[in-house]
Structure formats: C-alpha cells, structure tokens
Amino acid sequence: MTVHPPPAAPQPTPASPERRAFVGRLWKGLGILAGLELAWVTAAFLAPRKEGTGRAAALVVAGPVAEFTPASVRPFPAGRFYLVRLADGGFLALSSKCTHLGCTVPWNEASRTFPCPCHASTFDLRGEVLSPPAPRALDLFPVVIEGGIVKVDTSRRVERSRFEASQVTYL
C-alpha cells in the first residue's frame, strides 16, 4: 500500500518567524533545565548520607603487652583487624580487608601468610604484598600502648603502599 502525503493545507504565515523560533528555543531550554533539575534531585536523594560523627569511641583494648609473644598474630574479628607482634617486639594492627576487592583475609599459620580467598593475593606478617593482584599492603589501624596495655583505634584506617619501619609501634 502506498501512502499519499496529505494535500498541503495553506499555511498561515507567522507574523514574525524570528519570534517563533526564539520561543521554540526558549521552550527547549526550559525542558533541558527541568530535566537537569530532576536529575540533580534524584542524585542528591540517592547520595549516601553522612556517617555519624560518633566514631571516636572505636578504641579496642587488645590486652597487656606481655600477652602477645613475638612473631605472632592474634585475630580480633569484631574489630576486623589482626594484632601482629613482629619478631623484634613491635606491634602492627593490620586491617583484615584485602586491598584488592575487600574480602576478609584469614591467617594461615602453616605458610605464615594472609592468603585472600577471592583472588589469591597473599600478604606476609607485616601486611606486605607477597603476590598480586593486591595493589597495596594491608591497611593499618593506629596502635597505642598506654601503661603496658595495647589499644587499637579502629576508627582511623591508614592506607599505605608498602611496609615501612616507621609504621611499627614499640613499647
């Protein structure tokens, strides 16, 4: 079936073609503006809300220094960190979150590594990357030793690219 175009109706010539074009553009602009406004409201509505400021009270009391033998690892599952005492007696609080994609790394006593169960990254006792794909050493939480008691501040996550001696806390 062929469609014939309807016979052209006599068009009334607009009084001012420039004005008509201007009003057309104005409407288009207003339409775009309304679209942007809706997009902005949606984005702002969906944006994550600010986290509470009551994070100062995240100090975990790990225990007296003498409880931790050198070259040992003790997990603190509630605080999501491992308290590591290095062979030289220094302390490190390693986040248990893999720096690759966020899986929780277990401690393997036999190989003395933290092997990630998701993409096979491994970390050593100091949190240093032994094999990729993890791009950075495990994050740290600040350790303070007050009156012979080890405390870990889990509210402050410290990112680092590699292990450095300055990160270790000594008695």
| Closer residue to another protein (CB): 89 or 97 | 97
Least Å distance, CB 94 to another protein, is 14
**Closer residue to another protein (CB): 109 or 146:** 109
Decide if 143 contacts 169 (C-beta within 8 A): yes
Minimum distance from residue 117 beta carbon to another protein (Å): 4
Residue 106 CB, nearest distance to another protein (Å)?
Answer: 7
Q: Which residues contact 120 (CB under 8 A, 6 or more apart)?
A: 131, 133
- Taking the least distance from each CB to another protein, the nearer of 79 and 150 is 79
Shortest CB 103 distance to another protein, Å: 4
Terminal C-alpha separation, the chain: 93
Which residue, 104 or 169, is less far from another protein as judged by CB? Answer: 104
Binding site for another protein (CB under 8 A): 46-49, 51, 77-78, 80, 96, 100-106, 108-110, 115-120, 122, 130-133, 135
Q: Choose between 97 and 151: whose C-beta lies nearer to another protein.
A: 97
CB of 136 to another protein, least distance (A): 10
